[in-house]
């Protein structure tokens, strides 16, 4: 399935969704060995959206700064260089890709992405294997490859949506693989790597363009597993109704990151609250979510496959 040419064609396209120039400049800056802190602050300050988001982040209760932060300088110090670069990418990718073709539901896409982000953040905190803020960024952008397909292969994606009609998320993913010959997870990982976020690409063990593969760390693997578990949890938050099969898959994915059923039930309200609050902060419309017990109670049976 992994047709290298298909991936290359997408990532080389000038229609590929990218972070804005400020975010890319920040990403490049923080990777320098002798980066000048003042330069980072200057670049951040040049983008009001990034500034605002950075200040909101450090002043949120979750960040626990303890005092009100009012300057970009202090915000960057508290977030750290890599943290501000990640935040800049989040902000710019979101703001530059809120809309496009009429047939693609960007609202639902970003709601799902945000649910993944918040779930990943909580899982990062629970497992202590990936910093929570880093997990948030990876979760948010772990399906950015789907937007790439929409942007680069607009007509074909549109036709695919119109042909499929009402389809489950799983069906849509199958169709994407069949039609575009790419896997959204790997495509997203490739894109994130180009933005200075290599963990998913490394964890997937995919080779670089020159055939080289980088050594995989436990943190990389944990990031991938957390993102996958977060994807399952996001499905519980954003689906109108949930099947038993989805629930079982979500519980299994959480078990893979050492989060058992009891811990999941305890953490679920934090995820729901974070989802709602982040949605308000980022102007992403989020569905109302019940408790995990309610989701269990209303889970649907999915009949076995039958032939006519």
Partner 1 sequence: MTEPRRKILIVDDDEWNLDLLEQVLGERFEVRRASSGEAALASLREFPAELVLLDVVMPGLDGYATCERILQAPETRRLKVILLSGNGGRAERLRGYAVGASDFLVKPFDPDELLAKVDVFLALKTAQDESRAKSDFVANLSHEIRTPMTAILGYSENLRDGNLTPAARQEAIDTIWRNGQHLLELVNNILDLSKIEAGCMTVEPGVCDPVEIVHEVVAMMRARAVGRGLALDAVLESPVPERIVSDRTRLKQILINLVGNGLKFTERGGVRIGVRFVDGEPGREPALEFVVADTGIGIDRATIETLGRPYVQGDASTTRRFGGSGLGLSISRQLARLLGGDLTIDSEPGRGSQFTVRIATGPLDGVPLVRSLDAGGARSAPVAETGAPRRQLAQRRILLAEDGADNQRLFRFVLQKAGAEVVVVENGREAVDCALAAAGSAQPFDVILMDMQMPVLDGYSATAELRDVGYTGPIIGVTAHTMAADRQRCLDMGCDRYAAKPVDREALIRTILEVVERR
Shortest CB 129 distance to partner 1, Å: 30
- In the complex with partner 1, the residue whose CB is nearer, 59 or 154, is 154
Shortest CB 275 distance to partner 1, Å: 14
Interacting residues toward partner 1 by CB under 8 A: 103-105, 107-108, 153, 156, 158-172, 174-175, 178-179, 181, 239-246, 288, 290, 293-294, 296-308
Shortest CB 304 distance to partner 1, Å: 6
Which residue's structure tokens are 């995989």? Answer: 216
- In the complex with partner 1, the residue whose CB is nearer, 215 or 240, is 240
DSSP-derived letter for residue 303 is P
Shortest CB 127 distance to partner 1, Å: 27
- In the complex with partner 1, the residue whose CB is nearer, 52 or 101, is 101
- In the complex with partner 1, the residue whose CB is nearer, 125 or 177, is 177
Residue-level length of the chain: 308
| DSSP string across 136-159 | HHHHHHTTHHHHHHHHHTHHHHHH
Distances from the Cα of 169 to the Cαs of 96, 111, 174, 182, 307, in angstroms? Answer: 24, 14, 9, 16, 22
Q: How many CA atoms lie within 13 A of 124 on its CB side?
A: 22
CA atoms of 181 and 156, how far apart (whole Å): 13
- In the complex with partner 1, the residue whose CB is nearer, 221 or 243, is 243
Shortest CB 118 distance to partner 1, Å: 19
Vertex 222, ends 217 and 80: CA angle to 5°?
A: 80
Residue 257, token pair as written in the block: 């990151």
Cα–Cα nearest to 167, from 250, 108, 232: 108
- In the complex with partner 1, the residue whose CB is nearer, 211 or 303, is 303
Shortest CB 148 distance to partner 1, Å: 16
């Amino acid at each position: 399935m992994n047709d290298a040419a298909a991936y290359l064609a997408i990532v080389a396209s000038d229609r590929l969704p990218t972070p804005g120039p400020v975010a890319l400049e920040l990403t490049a800056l923080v990777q320098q060995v002798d980066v000048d802190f003042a330069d980072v602050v200057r670049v951040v300050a040049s983008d009001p959206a990034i500034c605002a988001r950075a200040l909101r982040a450090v002043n949120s209760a979750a960040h626990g700064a303890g005092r009100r932060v009012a300057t970009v300088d202090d915000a960057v110090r508290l977030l750290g260089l890599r943290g501000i670069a990640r935040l800049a990418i989040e902000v710019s990718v979101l703001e530059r890709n809120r809309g496009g073709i009429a047939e693609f539901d960007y609202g639902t896409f970003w709601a799902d992405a945000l649910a993944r982000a918040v779930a990943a953040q909580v899982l990062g905190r629970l497992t202590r294997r990936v910093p929570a803020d880093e997990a948030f960024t990876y979760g948010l952008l772990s399906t950015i490859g789907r937007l790439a397909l929409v942007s680069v292969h607009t007509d074909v994606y549109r036709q695919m949506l119109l042909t499929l009609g009402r389809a489950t998320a799983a069906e849509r993913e199958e169709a994407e693989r069949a039609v575009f010959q790419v896997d959204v997870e790997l495509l997203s990982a490739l894109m994130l790597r180009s933005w200075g976020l290599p963990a998913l690409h490394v964890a997937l063990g995919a080779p670089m363009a020159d055939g080289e593969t980088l050594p995989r760390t436990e943190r990389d693997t944990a990031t991938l597993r957390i993102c996958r578990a977060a994807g399952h949890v996001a499905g519980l938050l954003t689906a109108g109704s949930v099947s038993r099969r989805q629930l079982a898959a979500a519980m299994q994915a959480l078990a893979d990151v050492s989060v058992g059923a009891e811990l999941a039930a305890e953490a679920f309200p934090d995820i729901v609250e974070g989802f709602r609050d982040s949605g308000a902060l980022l102007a992403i419309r989020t569905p109302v979510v019940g408790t995990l017990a309610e989701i269990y109670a209303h889970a649907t049976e999915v009949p076995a496959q039958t032939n006519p």
